[in-house]
Structure 1
Amino acid sequence: MTESARIVMLEAQKIVLESYLFDTPGLEGAAFLICGQAAGGTPKLVCHAVIPLQSTDYLERRHDGLTIGSGSLTRIAKLAREEGMCIVFAHSHPDGITEFSSKDDEEEAKLLPFLQARAPGRIHGTMVVTKTSMGARLYAPRRIPASVLVVGDRFRLYSAETDDCVPQVYDRQVRAFGRDTQQTLSALHVGVVGLGGTGSPIAEQLVRLGVGRITLFDGDRLERTNVNRVYGSSLSQTGRPKVEIAKEHLDRIGLDAHVVAVAHHITEESAAKRLRDCDIIFGCTDKQIPRAILMQVALRYCLPVFDLGVLIDSKDGEIRSIHGRITTLMPGESCLYCRGRISAEAMRIEALSPQEREQQAREGYAPELDTTAPAVIAFTSTVASLAVSELLNRLTGFMGSDRKSSEVLIAFDQSRIRTNRVAPRDACHCADHAQWCIGDENPYLGLAWPTLPS
């Protein structure tokens, strides 16, 4: 399936937008979305703010059309130009029809040239909103249909695709979650960062679920000690890039997924920029700096990240504890700093070369070099499956409407699973709404990329 252009917005933004568009029953309403841009392979806009129209901005409001004054257009174009942002003109269809009307086409023919002239060099667009659906199109610069992805407690994709065919291989899943969920899965682009004990089973499950596009990120090569838990690997493949092994394995399954292998760490700017093409990411790395990068991607691109971790505490072959974790990152949720999962000091130490680390350890400024952590396929696979279940719950709500947690904690040695939702700390950058959903900036993510270690 061809990947469609996207407009991405938060569930909370959609609620605000609908309050503006449906403020007067039976009449069309309008608002503007101020959006950041993700200049990746497929056009994507990220909603930063919803701007309402004033009652005086309407020249005419009917059940089948509306006209707005030039003053509101001038205002919004000036704001977009000054902030380097894009504009989406959204309006409602009270009749419930998502398709753009001939009247919409006429108004767009006047609106888009104005926006392109006043805020040049940006992608602009339009959107139709009904009580049950959304439709959109972008001008990049030619007009193209766009899907709308809404993320929050639930993920909803209002797809521009029209293919209603669901392959028979997914029959058992359709019986569980329905055709709409299967079609959503087929339209999603999911990234997997790290192809080890958690990333490799996640990638395989995504393919078998019917996810349409999967991009794999990992700069490491397979080692003999990886084979005990890396799906699709064998001893004969040691020394080969993990992503190549994974792609070959996933392609052999023979389903429709388009799998792309990126044999680089996301601490390299070229690889990190490809993250923004994804709709959802599974972070399966055990390093702190890549986790910090994924946090920034989640905040700036309204891009949900499921961050995974498994920790086995063992001494002399005796288990002390076995813990797993799945943390959902997106604007509005507490980040890994807030939760104490990563720290600036740990990242400083991680960024040191082995020689620098040894020197600082001798001087008492860093702990001794880490020993190789234990890893067991039963536990890494379980955490991977629970993470995929979290995605399915966000798509379907099968865990119930009262399930609003953003972190799952597993204590294997105690046979216990707990969930939580922690508010962002006021002083943390993840609580700064100005940093949410801003899209591209220079430098990318505000980071000094040449200095980042792998």
Structure 2
Amino acid sequence: MISHKDRIRYSRQIMLPQMGEAAQEKLASARVMVVGLGGLGCPAALYLASAGIGELHLVDGDTLALSNLQRQILYKSNHIHKPKALVAAQQLGAVNPHIRILPYVKKASEAWLSEHASRVDLVLDCTDNQRIRQSINRVCREMAVPVIMASVQGFSGQLVSFDFRRKGSPCYTCFFPDTEQERVDNCETSGVIGPALGIVGSAQSLEAIKLLAGLPLGSLDTLQVFEAETLDWRRLSLGKERCAGCAEPMAIAR
């Protein structure tokens, strides 16, 4: 049951016909892992906390640098050199003290993800590291945990989600084959415009709320491409192609 205070706090989304109290109760019982608390993870985690997600797992091994402040909206100048995960947990706790927040000052290795991903209902990949993204994809597919993945470089962003609870779901590798060569292009090497991260990160949290509430997703098995220079969104649907792992699905619905 939703308390009187929560009914007031979340009233503007409860009154939506697509949501209601039943959807709000689903959000309150949900456990979401946000991997990467940079330009994407900051707005995504902020909206999830504000929406009343019951439990947030925040994963990032980095400390805040001066150059991060241009786009990572959870942090302030006095947070420089402090662990992002701990600062983000403190900031989000101030936004919504009624949810549970678990910070992990940890780089998300595949071994660590294999141990922890089964504890949540949804993973948000907010990293800018291709190797970690492929690890998140493999672990979530194996454990049948849905994942919403996003990235932004320069003025261009991408968003895609996979519900591995569904038998025969494609995965990230079906779109972007995994290779031994690690890509080095990221915000640190190629630059990025801050508001594009805010838009894509917000869209990522929107898809997360919809998935947890049982609503249809516009990014499910569909690559959404955002061009900040023109404010255009394009949709690229995956055909029948499947990677080797999805050709014989490993995921077993929980």
Residue 43 of structure 1 corresponds to none
**TM-score normalised to structure 2 length:** 0.87
Contact 2:159–2:224 (Cα < 8 Å) also in 1: yes
Name the counterpart of 1:201. 43
Counterpart of 1:260 in structure 2 is: 102
1:246 aligns with 2:246: no
Judge conservation of contact 1:265–1:271 (CA < 8 Å) in 2: no
Output the amino acid matched with 2:225.
L
Counterpart of 1:233 in structure 2 is 75
Q: State whether residues 124 and 147 of structure 2, in contact with CA within 8 Å, keep that contact through their aligned partners in structure 1.
A: yes
Q: Match for residue 215 of structure 2?
A: 397
1:292-332 CA-partner distances (Å, limit 9, x unpaired): 111112211111110110011xxxxxxxxx21111112333
> Larger strand proportion, structure 1 or 2?
1
Amino acid in the other structure paired with 2:64: L
Distance 1:419 1:254 in 2: 34
Provide the rounded CA distance (Å) in 2 between the counterparts of 1:427 and 1:379.
Answer: 30
Residue type at the aligned position of 1:190 = V
| In the alignment, structure 1 residue 214 sits paired with structure 2 residue 37 | no
Match of 1:185 in 2: 27
Q: Percent identity?
A: 22
The whole-number CA distance in structure 2 between the counterparts of 1:427 and 1:396 is 27
Distance in 2 (alpha carbons) for counterparts of 1:393 and 1:419? 18
What displacement does 1:271 show? 5.3
What does 1:282-301 correspond to in 2, within 5 Å?
A: 282-301=124-143
**What's 1:170 paired with?**
10
2:122–2:145 CA contact under 8 A, matched in 1? yes
Paired residues in the alignment total 246
TM-score, normalising length: structure 1: 0.50
1:382 paired residue number: 199
Does the alignment pair 1:437 with 2:243?
Answer: no
Tell me how far apart the structure 1 counterparts of residues 163 and 214 of structure 2 sit (CA, whole Å).
18
- Whole-angstrom distance in 2 between the partners of 1:295 and 1:372: 24
Q: What CA RMSD, in Å, does the superposition of the two structures yield over aligned residues?
A: 2.6
CA contact (8 A) 2:113 2:139 kept: no
1:398 CA drift (Å)? 6.6
1:210-257, CA deviations, whole angstroms, 9 ceiling, x for partnerless residues? 000000001111111001111221222111111011001011124311
Specify which of 244, 248, 251 is matched with residue 428 of structure 1: 244
Q: Is the 8 A contact 2:34 2:59 kept in 1?
A: yes
Q: 1:415 aligns with which of 231, 234, 245?
A: 231
Which SS does the other structure have where 1:425 is aligned?
coil
Q: Could you tell me whether the CA contact under 8 Å between 1:300 and 1:438 is conserved in 2?
A: no
Aligned to 1:326: 159
- Distance in 2, matches of 1:371 and 1:377, equals 13
Q: Quick one: structure 1 residues 413 and 333, their matched pair in 2 at CA, closer, same or farther if it must change by over 3 Å? A: farther
Alpha-carbon distance, 1:391 to partner: 2.3
SS at match of 1:333: coil
- Aligned residue type for 1:379: A
For structure 2, the 5+ residue unaligned runs are none
Find out whether 1:343 has 2:178 as its counterpart: yes
Secondary structure of 2:102 counterpart: strand
**Matches of residues 83-232 of structure 1 in structure 2 within 5 Å?**
163-165=1-3, 167=6, 168-176=8-16, 177-232=19-74
> Is the alpha carbon distance of 1:427 and 1:283 closer, same or farther for their aligned partners in structure 2, counting shifts above 3 Å?
closer
Structure 1 runs not aligned, ≥5 long: 1-162, 313-321, 351-366, 440-454
Conserved in 1, the CA contact under 8 Å of 2:110 and 2:132?
no
Separation in structure 1 between the aligned mates of residue 130 and residue 111 of structure 2, nearest angstrom: 16
| Structure 2 letter corresponding to 1:377 | G
Supply the distance in 1 between the matched residues of 2:71 and 2:55 (Cα, whole angstroms).
Answer: 24
> Greater CA radius of gyration, 1 or 2?
1
Q: 1:408 to 1:268 in 2, by over 3 A?
A: closer
SS of equivalent to 1:344: coil
- Runs of 4+ residues over 4 Å off in structure 1: none
